[in-house]
């Protein structure tokens, strides 16, 4: 699988997002009517995130590994009350067909203290199941229930916007 390689697209789908809090993380899944490679191409195209991930105002590739996959990306986020500039470092564990996982962790930020996540892409009969695990830690204290609610909102928004982008 090479970044941004073209793949034939599938059509039609049902929106189904299932959320469940985990011990220290929040997880949701959605099925996208497209091949895993197509989904991975959208995930890997960071500089186009502002076109479809509306709370991301900019995304700049800082470094990439020898295979052309992003290593570090700087983001500018404007999610209403939460505005931040942060850098994420990525780990790509994907197969040629696009299945596998993309994980990230926070390198630096102003408001965020921790941001760890993973997209896991699995082939299913009608396309790809994307599972998103997320753990967010802010520099200001937040009650656990509110933190999980915020993580759930971030995940559901990200998955629905990813689905719309890939299936467009």
Residue-level pLDDT at 20: 42
Residue-level pLDDT at 9: 33
> What is the per-residue pLDDT across 53-81, written as a single tens digit (0 to 9) for each?
988 999 999 999 888 899 999 999 887 76
Q: List b or e across 126-159, with b for residues whose CB sees 16 or more CB atoms inside 10 angstroms.
A: ebbbbbbbbbbebeeeeeeeebbebbbebbbebb
DSSP 8-class letter at 5? -
Contact at 8 Å (CB) between 55 and 78? yes
Residue-level pLDDT at 19: 45
> What is the per-residue pLDDT across 96-121, written as a single tens digit (0 to 9) for each?
999 999 999 999 998 888 889 999 99
Structure tokens given for 76? 């500018």
User: Between these two residues, 142 and 135, which has the higher pLDDT value?
Assistant: 135
Give the separation between CA 124 and CA 151, rounded to whole angstroms: 25
Residue 119, SS3 per DSSP: strand
Residue 141: pLDDT band with limits 50, 70, 90? low
Give the separation between CA 79 and CA 66, rounded to whole angstroms: 33
Residue-level pLDDT at 154: 77
Least trusted range by pLDDT, from 56-70, 88-102, 147-161 = 147-161
């Amino acid at each position: 699988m090479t970044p941004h390689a073209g793949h034939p697209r599938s059509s039609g789908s049902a929106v189904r997002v299932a959320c469940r809090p985990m011990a220290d993380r929040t997880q949701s899944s959605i099925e996208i009517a497209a091949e895993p490679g197509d989904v991975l191409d959208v995930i890997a195209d960071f500089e186009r995130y502002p076109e479809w991930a509306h709370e991301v105002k900019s995304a700049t590739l800082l470094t990439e590994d020898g295979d052309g996959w992003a290593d570090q990306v700087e983001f500018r986020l404007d999610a209403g009350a939460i505005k931040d500039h942060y850098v994420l470092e990525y780990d790509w564990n994907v197969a040629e067909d696009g299945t596998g996982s993309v994980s990230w962790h926070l390198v630096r930020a102003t408001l965020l203290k921790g941001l760890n996540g993973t997209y896991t892409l699995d082939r299913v009969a009608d396309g790809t199941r994307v599972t998103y695990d997320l753990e967010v830690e802010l520099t200001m204290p937040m009650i656990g229930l509110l933190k999980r609610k915020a993580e759930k909102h971030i995940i559901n928004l990200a998955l629905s916007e990813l689905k719309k982008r890939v299936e467009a």
